[in-house]
A and B are shown apart, each in its own frame.
Chain A
């Protein structure tokens, strides 16, 4: 789209608004929460939109509440149990994140990057498919310095958050905390900066299609 006037549209701002409003899929909501954990400067805009959104609650006609006393009793009863009784595992077993993976993503992944069952996609490119369903796909990528992800397009949009290292595509250069947003029809080929490995968390809102000769082969081998 051609920007009009002096304002260049920033797809990130729309994504932040969707997050504030609770309109994103679980993987995409996690991606934005992770971005916010790394980049506090985006939190202020989100916080303002959340306040505006929440203020609606105060203006609504209250809905009738069935079993009010039973519900209160259940809350007080739950409060008597020690907190850990709710968690099926020992607290020490739960992955809470680290310097690379902030808490929201750790909670979604359930394991550290080191404990991730990586699969080699191409020499120098590993991936781990976290989820793949109607919500869209969520994938972790580990790209060796100087290597490229196979060229691909998407049916929907693809959002790629950099966790470590940096990469470039036709739109720009992305470092830790940045989100690269590729719309459908954009045929892009992210390349990791030379000299250091790049870890990314990518979410699509529709299945992606690999293009280009290598992509088509990879697609055949791995997707079917």
Chain B
């Protein structure tokens, strides 16, 4: 993987003088990986391509909105693609949705104290997850990383739905508390 600072230099070139070569390099790295991610999440090929294309249009047109102090470019694009997918899957399409509406203005990071970078944040979450009891960890992995619904998890594990729900809730509450007590997340 190219270093985050390399990507930051490329996006700065796009933001400042619409550098097409810099954009093409970002496109070549992110578009195939975002597509792979969406396909893994169960999106159909055509939908995955549409979402990625819209996210890339946003990257091209709104590059100056990206702030490396607040998130990594991967996380920024992840949010744009995630929100775009939800828009495109809306059954009720009465509200006009434009690919360059300021989606990310509402999902942008608040500044994190201590200036954790993406890898430190990821490590903090993984460490917090390791502190969960095994019975909760297994279910959180299925719910969060495999994105299964509670009933799919109940089916797969043979546990009653109520137990699945309760354990997952306990797990996410504990996860949040652990992250808060570690000073990573502001205490409520």
Contacts and interface: CB of A to CB of B under 8 A. Distances in A.
Interface in B141-188: 143-145, 147, 149, 162, 165-166, 168-170, 172-177, 179-180, 184-186, 188
Contact of A7 (B33, B39, B174): B174
A124 interface: no
Interface of B: 1, 18, 20, 23-24, 27-28, 30-37, 39-41, 48-49, 53, 56-57, 60-61, 71-72, 74-75, 77-79, 82-83, 85-87, 89-92, 94-96, 98-102, 105-107, 109-110, 112, 118-119, 121-122, 124-126, 143-145, 147, 149, 162, 165-166, 168-170, 172-177, 179-180, 184-186, 188
Contacts, number: 200
Contact of A103 (B31, B100, B105): B105
B96 A60 contact: no
B98 A87 contact: yes
A122 interface: no
B57 A75 contact: yes
A10 B173 contact: yes
Interface of A: 1, 3-4, 7-11, 13-14, 16-17, 21-26, 29, 33, 36-37, 40-41, 43-45, 47-58, 60-66, 68, 71-72, 74-76, 78-79, 83, 86-89, 102-104, 107-108, 110, 131, 133-135
B83 to A, nearest CB: 8
Which 4 A-B residue pairings sit nearest by Cβ, starting from the closest?
Answer: A62-B32, A54-B78, A9-B169, A22-B82
Contacts of B74: 54-55, 57-58
A52 B141 CA distance: 12
Nearest to A28: B86
A51 B91 contact: no
Question: Which one of A11, A75, A79 has the greatest number of beta carbons of chain B within 10 Å?
Answer: A75
A53 B185 contact: no
A9 B136 CA distance: 12
A135 to B, nearest CB: 5
A36 B172 contact: no
Contacts of A51: 71-72, 75, 118, 121-122, 125
Contacts of B60: 75-76, 78-79
Contacts of B30: 57
Contacts of A49: 125, 144
A74 B186 CA distance: 43
Given A48-B124, A63-B48, 12 more contacts: A7-B173, A10-B173, A13-B172, A51-B122, A56-B145, A57-B74, A57-B77, A60-B36, A60-B37, A65-B31, A68-B27, A79-B57
A66 B46 CA distance: 11
B125 A52 contact: yes
Question: Which one of A45, A89, A110 has the greatest number of beta carbons of chain B within 10 Å?
Answer: A45
Contacts of A108: 95
Given A1-B166, A21-B144, A47 B109 contact: yes
